[in-house]
Amino acid sequence: MSAPLYAADGLFGRLVAAAPEPWRAYTEHRFVRGLADGSLPRAAFQRYLVQDYLFLVHFCRAYGLAIYKTVELADMRAFQATLDAILNHEMALHVAYSAEWGLSERDLVETPEHPANLAYTRFVLDCGLAGDLLDLAVALSPCVVGYAVIGRALAASAGPTTPYRKWIDAYAGAEYAEVAQGAVGLLDRLWARRGGPARMAELARLFARACELERDFWQMGLTG
């Protein structure tokens, strides 16, 4: 049996419990369900994946900002590990998928950003610029951990003929689970050093907003 991605009494588990509706709307969105049963239109997946490539470019910037904002070497290494996973592995998956449709990496880079993409990525960057390292880590966490949660759920429920199996397997696998668990552990370490009861309400607000922006990103894939 796979190890749990997060504990209910850790910071990530407490954030999920504080924002159950935004979390559910994100992780159980109709776009996600369409990946499992194969009903998601190919055009919707292509639209999502091109925008997600651009999204990951800005998430790399956010992880670079996180590295800059800490002097703790263990935290630097943890953020760098996720940055490497995004920059050198996850983005490569997007490029490989898009090549199947005749799109080059340059085509991806030159695609205009959708407003839903702008809203989400700039929200995260603003959390890092205006807040501290814990604010930034919380804003990043629904993406990095949520995709592992979604991947596991889809791997257990996906039909045998879904054309999105490769995408599902990438986020359901042990390698990505390790990235997500590392992010969860980092959140707990930052909470121990920088958190406290007075911060929980604001952190839960940031987490909920990030989940809502993830939901809107899925919706963008559906409706364009």
Distances (CA, A) of 52 to 48, 93, 184: 6, 11, 22
- Name residues whose C-beta falls within 8 Å of residue 6's C-beta, 6 or more positions apart in sequence: 12, 13, 16, 145, 180, 181, 184
Is the Cα torsion angle 5, 210, 53, 38 positive or negative in sign? Answer: positive
Annotated active-site positions, please? 143, 214
**DSSP-derived 3-state class of residue 112:** coil
Residues 137 and 78: beta-carbon distance below 8 Å: no
